[in-house]
Structure 1
Amino acid sequence: MKSWVRPLAGLGLAASVAACAPPEAPGAQLDPRLPTENFKADVADEPHELALAVHGWGLSQNQASALTDFAVGWQASGAVPIRIHVPTGVDPAIARRFGEMVREHLSKEGVPDEAMQMVESGGDNVLRVGYLRRVAVVPECGVQWSDLRRSAANEVQPNFGCAVTANIAAQIAEPNDLLGPRPSEPVDAGRRATVLDKYRKGQNTAAEVDKRADGAVSRAVQ
């Protein structure tokens, strides 16, 4: 009789201890539900600047080319303000005129005048033009290691999922996609009306198949 009384007593003691366990504190950090949730690609804003040597005779060919690429990158980043930092360590008239040349070149490349702001800054003979762009923050892998030969708790290793997340963050073209999906484009109301009209008439609503676009490289001659 004693052989089954002791196990039951142990189960009762374990149940009582579990019932007395304190609840999770508000705001407590819970373990991820999946191993792939251990790491997450974050998004941050970082300055993107272009340093140009001030010339009294104007922009060089390399500087003009660099400003053109700069304008293309700005247009892809969204409507963020551009600041042109005019140095105060050189002739003020030359630095101001050079800054106006930079502003005019960016305006020709499609940057609106209201998006650019000229400010005075320190520095010697170097004009800086820049803006804050959104970038994906890649998680750092390999910070914590465990013995891969042992897993007494049958849990995954600390770095599991980090490499995949880091690769996605490094390859993504638009970091804003990490924050949420893009808004849907307007529907094609004309096509929808055509399909509904055919559906009401009992006609085939699928588009006609173009036999010239079947992908065949060659055909056998009969």
Structure 2
Amino acid sequence: MTLPGRPSRPPSRPRRTPALAAAALAAALGACQSDRAATGSIYPMDYRARHPIVLADGDRNLDVFVTGTGHLDPRQAADIDAFLLEYRRYGRGGLLVDLPRGVAPGLGAGVERTASAIRRLGAENGVPARAITVAGYAVADPGLASPIRLSFRRMEARVADKCGLWPQDLGERSPAANFRNEPAWNLGCSTQATFAAQVADPVDLVRGRPEGRIDTVRRVKDIGQLRDGKDPSTAWRQDGKTSVKGAVE
């Protein structure tokens, strides 16, 4: 009860303790933490980062077409020689020879003679008989040419992902995507794939080769010319012939 003529006093507020203030501050910071937006990875701009070249084991194949007589023409013999040379240098595991089964009448003997010629060429190229595995595959259409398939495993360079993927439209997409001016995802993939296919030894992409043997005769000659005050370099003429110290070779 208040006396007349005296103003009423406002009700007293409870004091906040330091513990309550700390709890309120922590709750506010937690709310800010929950409102934070998560961002993704940055889009790679370099085509070498989008389509890296990796080293992996792959199959090397050669189809040797069979004739009625089982004779290897010079073209196929040269192809087999090159294929066997590659196998000796880079092959892993054995050499698989797949013979067609169920061929047209009259080609069965030619298949066997061609396979014998391939084994003979393998022996001549230093491929032992124990490294050759002979298998067979069923022919789907006897009317078509059914080759003998040679295959082996070797390490090769290839692009890590698949070319020809277009996850975004090249035309009008969205204002945000258009103003970013980013390259298309598939840009540069075919260039990387072509470069990887042209590398003869994939290890060259990982490390350089050691130095070869020096040409001692050439080095001694060049050092002697330098000591005499002469130029040991070679002058090249426009017609393609070399001129060494005024003498035309």
State the TM-score, normalized to the length of structure 2: 0.50
Q: How does 1:168-207 map to 2 (within 5 A)?
A: 168-170=195-197, 172-174=198-200, 176=202, 179-180=205-206, 182-183=208-209, 184-199=211-226, 201=227, 203-207=229-233
Shift of the 103–35 alpha-carbon distance from structure 1 to 2, 3 Å rule, reads closer
Q: 1:147 and 1:52 mapped to 2: Cα distance?
A: 44
Offset, 1:39: 1.2
Give the alignment of 1:1-222 within 5 angstroms: 32=44, 34-44=46-56, 45-50=58-63, 59-62=70-73, 65-76=75-86, 78-80=89-91, 81-85=94-98, 99-108=115-124, 111-114=125-128, 117-123=131-137, 128-137=149-158, 139-146=162-169, 150-153=177-180, 155-170=182-197, 172-174=198-200, 176=202, 179-180=205-206, 182-183=208-209, 184-199=211-226, 201=227, 203-207=229-233, 209=235, 213-215=237-239
C-alpha distance in structure 2 between counterparts of 1:174 and 1:30, whole Å:
34
- Give the conservation status (yes or no) of the 8 Å contact 1:83–1:116: no
Give the structure-1-normalised TM-score. 0.55
- Asked if the contact 1:85–1:121 (Cα under 8 Å) also holds between the matched residues in 2, the reply is yes
Report the 3-state secondary structure (helix = DSSP H, G, I; strand = E; otherwise coil) of the residue aligned with 2:239.
coil
> For the aligned residues, what is the CA RMSD?
4.6
* CA distance 1:182–1:208, shift in 2 (3 Å): closer
Q: Is the 8 A contact 1:87 1:123 kept in 2?
A: yes
Percent of pairs identical after alignment? Answer: 15
Runs of 5+ in structure 2 lacking a partner?
A: 1-32, 104-108, 140-145, 241-249
User: How many aligned residue pairs are there?
Assistant: 183
Q: Deviations 1:132-172 (Å, cap 9, x if unpaired)? A: 355543540343224556434454432343343234335x1
Q: Distance in 1 between matches of 2:55 and 2:127?
A: 28
Query: Residue in 1 aligned with 2:13?
Result: none
